[in-house]
Chains A and B, each alone.
Chain A
Amino acid sequence: MHQQTSWNKNRAVEIIRVHLGKPGATLPMLHAVQEAFGCIPEAALPMIADALNITRAEVHGIVTFYHDFRAEPPGRHVLKVCRAEACQSMGGEALAEHVLSKLGVDWGKTTKNGTVTVEPIYCLGLCACAPSVQWDGQPIGRATPAKLDRLIDEAVS
């Protein structure tokens, strides 16, 4: 389950300060911001730009380059479903279709009630127990529709 707090400028200032001294601080900083707020809030961009002495456009460019960084906070649970070849060979595509239709969402979207966000991922390194997914950071292998239904139903209830 994701613990996110709403936007808090002082918190953001503190996160930026902690990471600023590191060589190549951008990614550690962005990860920490997303960890705290569930996404990279628009309001954080000029602050990061100032701290790193780069333009807002550059920060925007970096944030949007990497698949991990979100513009909006996710639902209470994040389900990442592997779409890469090893999982494809074990029926991963059918599994993904099942999950998307059960939740009634498209890739990257959150269910209307804000419970689950489904994101595509290209390989979790669990290729020897495919198909695999990641549920709130926890690995799940030999995934079946029934196994994922149980997880989702528990989360919804």
Chain B
Amino acid sequence: MTLRIFVPRDSGARAVGADQVARAIAIAARTQGVAPEIIRTGSRGLYWLEPLVEVELAGVRHAFGPVTAEDAPILVRSLTQDAVHPLALGPIDETPYLKRQTRLTFARCGVINPLSLDDYRAHGGFTGLENAQSLVPERIVEAVVESGLRGRGGAGFPTGIKWRTVAATVAPQKYIVCNADEGDSGTFADRMIMEGDPFMLIEGMIISGWAVGATRGYIYIRSEYPDAIATMNAAVTLARNAGYLGPRFDMDVRVGAGAYVCGEETALLESLEGKRGVVRAKPPLPAYHGLFGAPTVVNNVLTLAAVPFILSEGAQAYANFGLGRSRGTMPIQLAGNVRRPGLFETGFGITLGELVDDIGGGAASGRPVRAVQVGGPLGAYFPRALFNTPFDYEAFSACDGLIGHGGIVVFDDTVDMAKQARFAMEFCAIESCGKCTPCRIGSTRGAEVIDRIRNGEDRSSNLKLVTELCETMKLGSLCALGGFTPYPVMSAITHFPEDFGSGPSQIAAE
């Protein structure tokens, strides 16, 4: 039997040498007279072990990592001689990091060749689509409603309700738009899906199109993701040639141009229409008046990627996971200064502390974890005191935070929280679309005021000023960029007052 070796082609793995490893393995194998089949997969999401090589031994995939090109000759020799290699991690499915997860959306990621339709079908792909085929559109929509799926992009709006609205709106043309403008630092789950299991996203979009009566779809991918763009383009062509895409529903990949604000759905629609990515006022909602004025479903990659499971295994199977009004699983992304960064998909309800300390293993630097930012650059910074917060939409919003797209960026005790607050304002100034004054100008003024605080100029009145400014930005901005920048700023001030040069009591008094 041919020896099968799996090496990721995920850009996160390529970033640390996966291509060189794949080449070195092929050369070492040839030198040693073995002819393995080398299969390039997505990533399993155990990034601290990347490049993570898997070898199929007696039908079980064994992991080795992190492998370098220099390790390849000895690795190949150990396989032919049945010796234990020092980088051997045992069967991949038995690794604690994966074993503790509930992988519904990421079940195939890192397992299959992302551009093999045969692999996809062999691992349950297109079952949801086949089931949807026998359902009237209303039943597809109701299945998504019953699953409790909420928008995974950050806003957490119930997906089924959005679909119901679009389905009920009569129009000659409707659209499905997949928001793949994953701009939040600390998030990479969309990228992993597009690079590792692109047909699942295509399947989700087709089902969505059937459900609401849309015949056209677009995936808007950020230009910072060249690998994801290439893989999605190839997958769309393969799916079209195989007859999955056609007159009933077809789609194209569109590429962003470096504007963070285009991750906001109305700015994204403007950009797709070929304009500046300026946010639209709502109403009208995109569900009524979206792309080119037509009723449009705008869903995040992870939202659409969850749909095939719901249609193949049933709404209840999905809703069985989770907590309260947060049903199903959330692909959480551990990033930054953390010992075991990666993708951790689990039912809602796990606490922040479990994620950071237990699963993530604390800071990569070995120093104490001081703060974590959850939900991207517009998410709040959490101190250790709030590590008992369960990962759930409502619990996070009760702590003046958000789970956003599920990214957690870990910082050790060397972090300067006043600097982080300043960066939040600076980022907002760089990325503001300019429509709302509090966002466009407030962010620049905010950075200046924080500079004054950091310089020790009239701290208490400047802290008061920045607090008022945050209030204005929150209330006076149309979208989450201006509206949520106050989250990182105010959470830094509230939870880490010592970094702003004042004791907790002084802040509380104001």
30 contacts between A and B (CB under 8 A): A26-B275, A27-B254, A61-B276, A62-B275, A65-B259, A66-B258, A67-B257, A67-B259, A85-B423, A86-B407, A90-B337, A90-B364, A122-B185, A122-B260, A123-B183, A125-B187, A125-B191, A125-B225, A125-B228, A126-B11, A127-B333, A127-B409, A128-B48, A128-B188, A128-B334, A130-B336, A130-B341, A139-B12, A140-B15, A141-B16
List the 5 closest A-B pairs by CB distance, nearest first: A26-B274, A141-B15, A84-B185, A128-B47, A66-B257
User: Residue among B11, B50, B255, B260 with the most chain A CB within 10 A?
Assistant: B11
Number of chain B residues close to chain A: CB under 8 A: 63
Determine whether the beta carbon of A68 is less than 8 Å from that of B223. Answer: yes
- The verdict on A105 contacting chain B, using a C-beta distance below 8 Å, is no
Complex Cα spacing A41 to B57, Å? 56
- The verdict on A117 contacting chain B, using a C-beta distance below 8 Å, is no
User: Which residues does chain A contribute within 8 Å of B377, judged by CB atoms?
Assistant: 84-85, 122
Q: List residues of A whose CB falls within 8 A of some B CB.
A: 23-28, 30-31, 52, 61-62, 65-69, 82, 84-90, 121-130, 132, 134, 137-142
Q: Which of B159-198 contact A (CB under 8 A)?
A: 182-188, 190-191
Complex Cα spacing A123 to B405, Å? 14
Q: Which of B476-494 contact A (CB under 8 A)?
A: none
Tell me the number of A-to-B contacts counted with CB atoms below 8 Å. Answer: 157
User: Which residues does chain B contribute within 8 Å of A140, judged by CB atoms?
Assistant: 15
Complex Cα spacing A115 to B186, Å? 31
Q: List residues of B whose CB falls within 8 A of some A CB.
A: 11-12, 14-16, 45, 47-48, 50, 182-188, 190-191, 223-228, 254-260, 271-278, 292, 333-337, 341-343, 364, 373, 377, 407, 409-412, 415, 420, 423, 427, 430-431, 433
User: Which residues does chain A contribute within 8 Å of B411, judged by CB atoms?
Assistant: 89
Complex Cα spacing A65 to B343, Å? 33
Determine whether the beta carbon of A88 is less than 8 Å from that of B423. Answer: yes
Q: A27-B257, A67-B258, A89-B409 are in contact. Are A129 and B12 (CB under 8 A)?
A: yes
User: Which residues does chain B contribute within 8 Å of A129, judged by CB atoms?
Assistant: 12, 15-16, 47, 50, 341
